[in-house]
Structure 1
């Protein structure tokens, strides 16, 4: 009887170890997949604070919460089932779909560069002076943010799925659920901190302590600079990630020359600078991918913006 009990305990312990290992594997895979989607995550973090510009301070966090819930709904109820079905029954579609997402990233990054150079920046948030009740404006603002998030979330999930495409169906599903929840919490948690930092700074400036006032003024003055840095990093990350996706995609589809050229340059930098070869190789690959992303994005921007404008001017 005792032997049977010990055998049962051994089996339970073995199952527990197996379950723990599975959880660790899912977590590790989710982490790797999330890293690949870093460019989109940074862009999502940079874009979202613009939706609460001009709204009352007490409504900032509720609006962000609503957008976060909508983002999670996008990922889990719309994108996840579609992505899993594609990966299970039409896996060959993933590369073209991923390349479309990469092209969109290139377009978004190049458009931001074009807006910066031309001085015509886009506005993501709702106009506070627009007509309508505050409740209607808030609903419009949240709905617009969730629509934009659908595109960004789709890119995040497809990029993540591509990293775990060889896993079993259940593992893929669990990994993507972890990615969806983790990235949503990360992005909107950081956004919440960003949009409330200036309020914290203002509160500190009203304290009696000179040190607290100094910190508060630094926080208030530093927020616009921080948002600018996030925006620049997000643009660079979109061009890099989008260009890399396209390079790998065309290589997988049979056109090897572009990827081979970048790989050759990467190896050359690695061998020439032995002391920092790994870093130099990564920088060359990143810069080449970003250049490809900028070129592809510039073509798309020209087609969607410049060419139609010239055609209209020619017809007028």
Structure 2
């Protein structure tokens, strides 16, 4: 196991954002347009290299999911990095399509790994319950829910889900992968961000969801369960009961991806990166749960 780039290479951190509407997710897929595919092709072009360029990402977003604070890294030969580092950001801006941007890039500190050194990922899910629908200027980033939502009830239900649990009931299972995660924050807030569009700012409800890592569909399934509480179709204890059951519940819909945005990835202080990198690769489990390294 490597704790950093191979000898003669430099690890470069990239901070980036993208609109996920026209992408088939982050991960490279043959014949499909993906964020990873666009970025790696742009890097090969501006670096003028025939060498493989492979990105490692903090959180592998699904098709249609957006990112404002995504983090990735790439290992480059030291001489290639030295030759291009000063102009690489500007060249990428000219080469990349308009729906993906690299805001900053630079040599990463020792022990940094975009995926394994991360200590948390924070997502936001945006919902409008305004009877008139979603602000047309935000329709690609906000889900419309056609019933009024009780934010206090949703927050009461959310508190029952915090902590380390097996989230199998809220995840799409992958063979051999653990669904044990630590949910650090799940909170709903009604904002005034769309006050100009609606006149009263009552229509936008935003969930902040933060965990050490997420498994496939976890945030969107959690939101689906919360909406059932918010509109009164299920009691406050329902999402917790689903969690305890450890199996998917047919009443819980995985909501559409366009309301979801990866907002930020958290990392420890530089001197703690190496230990976090190593610790995160270890297998973890709860009693009776199969073990494997953490996922998304």
Name the TM-score, length of structure 1 as normaliser. 0.21
Name the TM-score, length of structure 2 as normaliser. 0.22
Instruction: Indicate the structure whose relative CO is greater, using CA pairs within 8 Å and at least 6 residues apart.
Output: 1
Select the structure that is richer in strand: 2
